[in-house]
Amino acid sequence: MRIEIPKECDQCMKCVDCCIITQMDGYSIASELNELSGDGAWNCANCWRCIEVCPRAVDIFGFMIQRRKDEEIPELIRRGIDGIFRKGFWFGDSQFNEVRGLFGLPAVRFLGREKVALLMADEGEGS
């Protein structure tokens, strides 16, 4: 599959140079913009330093969204989405409120499965 580089990008490498992932010899979305790899769509800390340094105001965020749509969603994110649809909470912790109680913290009530379903798009529309 060919990755289409936004036309504003002149592959100046500034985003690659500032990225914590490429600095550690990994590939990120900045690597993809500069055609160094086709493997960087998910590897990102969402620090948006690349967006701040880009001299040509390339829509790096939009590019990332497009690229990710071509790839599988990572397992841990899938699990988080399940949690959100289960009750509106990223984790599946058991005894969550009991543990909070031990710290003297108030119990949390979650939005709940039915209301989350009302809030989000219907099956098939969301992603």
Enumerate binding residues for ligand SF4 (CB under 6 A).
Answer: 9-15, 18-21, 28-30, 33-34, 44-50, 53-54, 56, 58, 60
Q: How far is the CB of 85 from another protein (least distance, A)?
A: 10
Helix, strand or coil, per DSSP, at residue 109: coil
> If 0-12 CB within 10 Å is exposed, 13-18 middle and 19+ buried, where does residue 82 land?
exposed
- Minimum CB separation of residue 34 from another protein in Å reads 18
Partner in contact with 39, chosen from another protein, ligand SF4, none, beta carbon below 5 to 8 Å by kind: none
Does position 1 bind another protein by CB under 8 A?
A: no
Residue 38 interacting partner from another protein, ligand SF4, none (CB closer than 5 to 8 Å by kind): none
- Lookup result for tokens 């550690």: 24
CA gap 78, 72 in Å, rounded: 10
For residue 124, state whether it binds another protein (rule: CB under 8 A): no
Question: How far is residue 100's CA from residue 102's CA, in Å, rounded to a whole number?
Answer: 5
d(CA 71, CA 66): 9
Q: How many CB atoms lie under 10 A from the CB of residue 97?
A: 13
Using the rule CB under 8 A, which residue among 103, 113, 123, 124 binds another protein? 103
Measured in whole angstroms, the distance separating CA 110 from the mean position of its chain's CA atoms is 23
Binding site for another protein (CB under 8 A): 20-21, 24, 26, 41-49, 51-52, 61, 64-69, 73-74, 76-77, 80-81, 83-84, 88-91, 93, 96, 99-100, 103-106, 108-112, 115-116, 118-121, 125-127
